[in-house]
Chains A and B, each alone.
Chain A
Amino acid sequence: MRQKGRFGQYGGFYVPEVLIPALEELEAAFYDHYQDEKFVKELNWFYKHYAGRPTPLYLAKRFSEQVGFNVYLKREDLVHGGAHKLNNTLGQALLAKYMGKSKIIAETGAGQHGLATAMVGALFGMETKIFMGVIDIERQSVNVHKMKLCGAKVISVEGGTGTLKDAINDALRYWTANVTDTFYIFGSTCGPHPYPTVVKHFQSVIGTEAKQQCAEQIGKLPDMIVACVGGGSNALGIFTGFIDDKNVKLIGVEAGGEGVSTGKHAATIVAGKVGILHGAKSYLLQDENGQVLETESVSAGLDYSAVGPEHCQLKDSGRAQYYEAEDEDVLDAFELLSKKEGILPALESSHALAWVMKQKGKLSSDANVIVNLSGRGDKDVSIVEKYRPLMQ
């Protein structure tokens, strides 16, 4: 490896020896191409004509009235596929193409990353396999069907708890046996080096655009950026644009599930202890013996026991702050944005909105807050319906 892939004490590449050559190859390809003119031009072409970038920065006036300060939404829900995930899969699939790999695999939780991978698999004509936990397949059946329509094979992962972490386990195992011709498109800013760096890079387009849009629309920097944190890719994607602007507060919101004190949550940074999972050192939800704990959240996309290593460093340094939002508040936020703006937010993104709603009365009326609306909520309608049936 050319680099250690460390963010302070976090990160690294704690993987079995057999995966080292594949990670080295990926790292080399990434550093050789990511600033290469041809590669950048081609990726930007796909961002514009396939993904629909740039996405708007939208002042949500009627939502803002409810909370008492200005809330701008970075509309990643409008990216083709319905979430920020495509920014990353386009980048990695293009890298795979440059490396001459014809097969791609991915893990998925909510199905958004799986779908975004299935889409680029179709786009580039690559054989695509998506690993997904049985529980997630059940609660995100529409996305499963969409992936299949795009020609991907969805592999049901039975092991463990049948959620994202088990899907990653099996994708890693599959990759171990097929490293020579298969590219693993990792879905978030976690996993072994170089993934946290690669994924952040391809998501940084969010922050770059948002910063420019702020200058155009507000004429100055925002006061605060708020994003939900599962593995951490949409959050880092937007944070990166403002990381050097010390007066811009960066807030990450994790899944508080039924409440951190109940143990039924996925608030890794808020409630975890440092450990090693899936190739990286990070905060980790684990028991006193180091066994990884199961997570719980209304949103499949935040249901992960670990978190991106760079977030852990940002937390320790104080540059970013991390909080959790509980399921009931998240559902309130989902309903409020739908009702006031006609925008159905993904349950993941609703965590960021829920935290923002709690700031009512705490921020001045001229404060400008950007929420990274990482995805749209169409995929979640049946879940919301279960929790909050509509009275006719």
Chain B
Amino acid sequence: MKAYKELFSELDRAALIPFFVIGDPDYDTSLDIVKTAIDAGADVLELGIPFSDPIADGPTIQKADIRALKAGMNVHRALEFIKEIKQYKDIPIGLLLYYNLIYQYGTEKFFADFHAAGVNSILIADMSIDDADEVLAPAQAAGLDTVFMVTPNTEDQRMKLIASKTTGFIYTVSVLGVTGSRESLSDEVEGLVGKLKKLTDVPVCVGFGISKPEHAVAVAKAGADGVIIGSKIVSLIEANLDSKENILSAISQFIKDVKSKLI
């Protein structure tokens, strides 16, 4: 398994990190979608396990969660899914989910099992650095990297604290708000990335609201190590639910398009 550190230092450009809800719209289609994204040039995958109450997510990802849950996705099947992806290609995977799913599975076992399946890091959407001690030790014991969020309203002192507990990458949230596509890029991103880069050596990836190739390019120019594209990609699934072929070609085309501009 390739570590983030290796990957980010090998790349001389920003990594392209698409986000998918595992099992959206169903297990098999989701598997093909993610494989297509890998073939189209994804450098890292950010994968979410669907939850009934995703408070950090806007309507697009909420709907994806509902589709996946209705099609029978759960933590156990997500584990199988990740194993299948890793068999297809040994690509770094960041997992993103809500704390209750981990808690019910059993925190230590969750981390151990998902690490064994090939996951690099786990980001808990509803856990801030303040409660991180509940997961830091089990994460470390399992050999997982930690990822925490920094937002435009995070104070400098707190940024340093967050950086000090992050071993994977800092997930920089580009806007005040939940996930969702946005027409224009927040003008706070550049400053935020610049500040973080001065504060820490930990890789910095940017997500939330990145919807166009130009946004990705701007974020990369600002010095980000990676660009995470979520709602935009999920919306391509939503827009083509009647045709798997169309989903796959839309995803493939979009990822290739962004990638070509990042290089």
Contacts and interface: CB of A to CB of B under 8 A. Distances in A.
Residues of B in contact with A, size category: 35 or more
Interface in A1-52: 1, 12-18, 20-21
B126 A279 contact: yes
A288 B104 contact: yes
A22 to B, nearest CB: 8
Nearest to A288: B104
B127 interface: yes
Given A14-B131, A165-B53, A292-B52, A179 B100 contact: no
B154 A21 contact: yes
B149 A169 contact: no
Interface string A111-154: 00000000000000000000000000000000000000000000
A16 B56 contact: yes
Interface string A168-185: 010011001111100000
Interface in B74-122: 74-76, 98-105
Contacts of A277: 53, 100
B176 interface: yes
A20 B130 contact: yes
Contact of A18 (B100, B102, B162, B173): B173
A56 interface: no
B69 interface: yes
Interface in A339-353: none
B130 A1 contact: yes
Contact of A286 (B69, B76, B104, B128): B104
Contact of B154 (A17, A169, A290, A292): A17
Given A276-B126, A284-B100, A290-B75, A13 B51 contact: no
B100 A286 contact: yes
A45 to B, nearest CB: 35
B71 interface: no
Contact of B53 (A20, A178, A278, A288): A278
Contact of A290 (B101, B125, B151): B101
Contacts of B102: 290
B178 interface: yes
A16 B98 CA distance: 10
B176 A179 contact: yes
Given A169-B53, A177-B177, A180-B176, A13 B128 contact: yes
A159 B102 CA distance: 23
A392 interface: no
A291 interface: yes
Contacts of B75: 289-290
Nearest to A177: B177
A160 B176 contact: no
Interface in B129-176: 129-131, 148-151, 153-155, 158, 162, 173, 175-176
B211 interface: no
B55 interface: yes
5 contacts: A13-B128, A16-B128, A20-B128, A169-B53, A178-B176
Interface of A: 1, 12-18, 20-21, 159-160, 165-166, 169, 172-173, 176-180, 273-279, 284, 286, 288-292
